[in-house]
Structure 1
Amino acid sequence: MAKRYIVHIDLDSFFVSVERKFNPALIGKPVLIGGSADRGVVSSCSYETRKFGVHSAMPMKQALKLCPDAIVVRGTHGRYGEASREVTEIIHDSVPLYQKTSVDEFYIDLTGMDRFYDCYQMATNLRQRIIKETGLPISFGMASTKTVAKMATNQAKPNGQLYIPHGKEMAFMAPLPVRKIPMLGEKTCEKLYTYGIEKIGDLQHVDLRFLQTLFGSAGQYIWEKARGIDSSEIIPHSERKSISTEHTFDADTADERTLQTILVSMTEELAYKLRKENKIAGCMAVKIRYSNFETHTIQEKIPLNAAEHILIPGIKNLLQKTWNRNRKVRLIGVRLSQLARGNYQINLFDDNEEQLKLYQAMDTINFKYGDKTVCRAAGMEVGTRNFNPFHG
């Protein structure tokens, strides 16, 4: 079997780095990107703040207590999406197989290329090209598996690179804390700590049956990860580029309140689905079909997000722009497009801690008990209607 060469690429402090491109005065300074100092949440933070214990999703007030000299930047949504697209295009033009897992993270498979090239040099050249053409700091790790490559990247940060040769995976991992294993939760780590298992090297010497007794079926996963065993492939898949829903009225209507209520409910439904799939949208559209089947669609580019409190005002505005109030509506629809991988953290520039907690609470309940268990009051009266979702 051919040796695998997997590269994990991560843009360092992505939002901060992009802002520093536009404002070099921020370079070397402690920077927090997020909402207001009183009630906002940290979306991203520079390495200068992390040494004080600051991390993303932390309340801004707490972050400023830990690092009082930090500069708070509200953030510029469009810049991050554009920077991510620039990096993606460079990678797309440079390698045969890659997977984009978020706006600032990629996996690349160079397996087989070693017959013709030095894979580590290829990755080095790619990193230098990205830095040169985008001005963004970037780190990468290369190893035989996705897990070890990601861990190598984390060790190479900030703005570095690290290659773990084949056969050296366990030796590389051994001195690292168990919490460095990707996807290993805090509760799992705490349970390991109670048995004196603090380093990955300690975990490598634990019998598989012991881990299975402690963690059930997850024991096998933990045992394999500690040894760098990971057979997961990098398979680029064609993700849908839009998500939509429509509603056809039983009787044509020109009642503005009815139209807005339907739009609010549909937008909320789509935003929830995006968050459930860990996606964000960069464009929204409203579709109107009149009684004579004449159809009009209007769309607008938006900052990448999946939050209905941001989307709903925009959707209502599109309705006002496209709807002829002298005509009755037969069908109305909402489409969110230009989808990208990413989570709700990208929207925290305009949000406060209460809003974040509200979304987390609503999504937790809806994930557990089903869609529309919890929704906004404006959408409740149509929450039980049957929509006809279709995907582009």
Structure 2
Amino acid sequence: MSNKTIIHFDLDAFFVSCERRLDSSLNNRPVIIGGTGSRGVVAAASYEARRYGVHSAMNMSLAKQLCPKAFVIRGNGGLYSKMSKEVTDILLEELPIVEKASVDEFYGDLTGMDKFFGCYKFSKELRAKIIHETGLPISFGLSINKTVSKVATGEAKPNNQMNVAQGYEKRFLAPLSIKKIPMVGDKTFKQFSLLGIREVGLVQQMPIERMISVFGKNGRIIWERCNGIDDSPIRPFYERKSISSERTYGKDTFDQDIIYTTLSAMAENLSFQLRRGNKLTSVVTVKIRYSDFQTYSKQLKIKHTSADHILIPTVIELFKKLYDRRVLVRLIGVRFSGLTEGHYQIDMFENTNKTVNLYKAMDLIRNKYGDHLVRRANTLGEGSRTIGNQGNPFDGRPPILLAHRHR
């Protein structure tokens, strides 16, 4: 049995809590945050609104029907990232190792700290400090690994804490719904239900071979997590300031179609990298190097986003404003900076449900089969070569094309 001590922090109803910090009149009232239009999507809901059945990713029109007295707020991704950073800074100052799992979720490694003072006592004092200095409610779970700590946090919420003593992991997990185990989503839960299994305790009693035969390699991981076994490490948090991509043409060019294709492919690939890393950008920069090696750049500050249907047109417009010498182009580059942590949910403030689902589907295919399997039609062509994956990016598969329109 591991002797590690892992803490998991989760900011309660984070977006709502941020709004309430600015406006205390929202306290104890149902609040819904997200796209305010008829086709908008819910990004977050207060506990008061959740009692009416409102949840994230729900169509805003339906949410308003379920909870007509709710205060509906458009939301501010930049504000939430700023408040998340306040919590991050406190944790980095107090803990030896911190992993930032998302804008409102953190892991910390307290292993060995019991030699100096009790880990649970320290954790309670740290939680109290965060609440006092930021005004944001936060919960934590403490145990020997990430899985048990995360589940414990869920059981402690809202705005509370829980310690699962070493050796009690299986006993703690046994009566809980299998759905509370990380990586057990709706589809996997339905499979368990067909087997007559709904509680973790029943999985604990199953032979691991049976789990593997039904669920494949994931069956072993689920079985281990149900039994309180998880050796996954804490991944230290390092703030990345920017991501960029450049292309030097083999032959200097005037061809606008080639240049626009290159810029679009760069912006699309970088946007995907942002979403994969739970990042949002607020500054876009385009760089040009002419055939005489004169180099120029132009940047624009924008609202925090990771959506390529916003970033691609921005990059193209910046290039149009920058390119004025009518000299052959040797190199072009795109950089996204001003990065902040952020769930893709933050983009729901402006996206329709259809757009959000499209991005999720595209990114799922890219994560599974490669960055270039799904591409916008305007990123194909000579100008897109060598952008992103090298070698054979399609692995023998033709790309799925998406039409692209500038709005």
TM-score clears 0.5: yes
Secondary structure in 2 aligned to 1:53? Answer: coil
Distance verdict in 2 for CA 1:127–1:301, change over 3 Å = farther
Q: Does the Cα contact within 8 Å between 2:98 and 2:237 map onto a contact in 1?
A: no
Opposite residue 225 of structure 2, the aligned amino acid is K
Listed one character per residue, the Cα deviations across residues 291-332 of structure 1 (whole Å, up to 9, x for unaligned) are 321222333444432101222343244335544445543221
Listed one character per residue, the Cα deviations across residues 95-129 of structure 1 (whole Å, up to 9, x for unaligned) are 11111111111101111000001111211111111
> In structure 2, how many angstroms separate the alpha carbons of the residues matched to 1:182 and 1:369?
23
1:166 shift after superposition = 1.2
Distance verdict in 2 for CA 1:165–1:365, change over 3 Å = closer
| Identity in percent | 48
Opposite residue 142 of structure 1, the aligned amino acid is L
Distance verdict in 2 for CA 1:88–1:237, change over 3 Å = closer
Q: Does the Cα contact within 8 Å between 2:291 and 2:330 map onto a contact in 1?
A: yes
How is 1:14-163 mapped onto 2 (pairs within 5 angstroms)? 14-163=14-163
Listed one character per residue, the Cα deviations across residues 12-34 of structure 1 (whole Å, up to 9, x for unaligned) are 11111111122222222211111
- Matched residue, 2:244: 244
| Number of positions where the alignment pairs a residue of Structure 1 with one of Structure 2 | 390
> In structure 1, how many angstroms separate the alpha carbons of the residues matched to 2:134 and 2:378?
44
> In structure 1, how many angstroms separate the alpha carbons of the residues matched to 2:10 and 2:65?
29
- Matched residue, 2:399: none
Residue ranges of structure 1 left out of the alignment (5+ in a row): none
Opposite residue 203 of structure 1, the aligned amino acid is V
- Matched residue, 2:264: 264
Opposite residue 113 of structure 1, the aligned amino acid is M
- Matched residue, 1:211: 211
Q: Does the Cα contact within 8 Å between 1:9 and 1:106 map onto a contact in 2?
A: yes
Q: Does the Cα contact within 8 Å between 1:372 and 1:383 map onto a contact in 2?
A: no
Question: Which deviates more from structure 2 when the two are superposed, residues 159-168 or residues 301-310?
Answer: 301-310
Distance verdict in 2 for CA 1:378–1:217, change over 3 Å = closer
> In structure 1, how many angstroms separate the alpha carbons of the residues matched to 2:57 and 2:104?
17
1:137 shift after superposition = 1.0
**Structure 2 residue 232 is the aligned partner of structure 1 residue 222:** no
- Matched residue, 1:182: 182
> In structure 2, how many angstroms separate the alpha carbons of the residues matched to 1:227 and 1:383?
52
How is 1:277-356 mapped onto 2 (pairs within 5 angstroms)? 277-325=277-325, 327-356=327-356
Secondary structure in 1 aligned to 2:375? Answer: coil
1:239 shift after superposition = 6.9
Residue ranges of structure 2 left out of the alignment (5+ in a row): 391-407
1:179 shift after superposition = 0.5
TM-score normalised by L of structure 2: 0.87
Q: Does the Cα contact within 8 Å between 1:265 and 1:382 map onto a contact in 2?
A: no
Q: Does the Cα contact within 8 Å between 2:258 and 2:383 map onto a contact in 1?
A: no
Listed one character per residue, the Cα deviations across residues 373-392 of structure 1 (whole Å, up to 9, x for unaligned) are 443344334564233789xx
Q: Does the Cα contact within 8 Å between 1:244 and 1:389 map onto a contact in 2?
A: no
